[in-house]
Amino acid sequence: MSKLIETKHLGRVYGDDGVRTVALDDVSIEIDKGEFVAVMGPSGSGKSTLLHILALLDKQTSGSYKFDGKTISSYSEDEMARVRNEKVGFVFQAFNLLPRTTVLDNVELPLLYSDIPEHKWKDMALRAIKIVDLEHRLDHESNQLSGGEKQRVAIARALVNNPEIIFADEPTGNLDTKASHDLMKIINALNKEGHTVIVITHEEEIADYARRIIRLRDGKLEEDRRTK
């Protein structure tokens, strides 16, 4: 396997000299293409900060980060945006769907910011919607869906560009037990198809789907172990 993510002595500090909050402190990890990793830790441990840096939504204040072999600090803002759009898919706890907008239109949204010709958008969106088994909800607006269906739409939207890696931040946080496991089965199947997956969760039974667990505490790497 080849390395997709490599951090060395990664640090993230918020604030200035007056009030400084250390969110990450000396975190060094490597993640290969095709891995399924769960990131765990108590509230305030740095989980979301790490995900935001790895997903190119934030930048570290110390240390280095290579994504797909290239140091992030060498990327221009336009290159960062292109990589986020083409290689990265996001799934968030709050769904982040457009209200009173159809499932199809929500899934097509990332394509608005791509170089892909518009005539291809619908077929790409339909393929992603089929993966999450929501063809029967195609023309329903997002506010007409259950929580589990909304999160499946969010996964379809994350998949529409066929990204190399999927980041999921507490994706089951607003779901009941059945919907949570249905969702994780979809994510697990995507990983088996070759997508790299990084999931932030505080639930052990959700982390059980992963094949590696990284634990943070107080911004530091506490544990990094393979489970399968």
φ/ψ region of 6 (left if φ > 0, alpha if ψ in -120 to 50, else beta) reads beta
**pTM (predicted TM-score):** 0.91
- pLDDT value at residue 93: 81
Residues 25-54 as b/e (b if ≥16 CB within 10 A, e otherwise) read: bebebebeebbbbbbbbeeebbbbbbbbbb
CA dist list (Å): 81 to 90, 202, 210: 13, 29, 28
Kindly report, residue by residue over 180-209, the tens digit of the pLDDT. 999 999 999 999 999 999 999 999 999 999
Quote the crossing angle between the two packed helices 147-159 and 177-192, to the nearest 10°. Answer: 20
pLDDT of residue 77: 87
**Confidence tier at 1 by pLDDT (50, 70, 90):** low
Q: Give the integer Cα–Cα distance in Å for 88 and 49.
A: 16
- Give how far the C-alpha of residue 170 lies from the chain's centroid of Cα atoms, to the nearest Å: 9
Cβ distance 150 to 142 under 8 Å?
yes
What is the tens place of the pLDDT at every residue in 83-103?
A: 888 899 999 888 888 888 999
- The band of 166, judged by pLDDT with boundaries at 50, 70 and 90, is very high
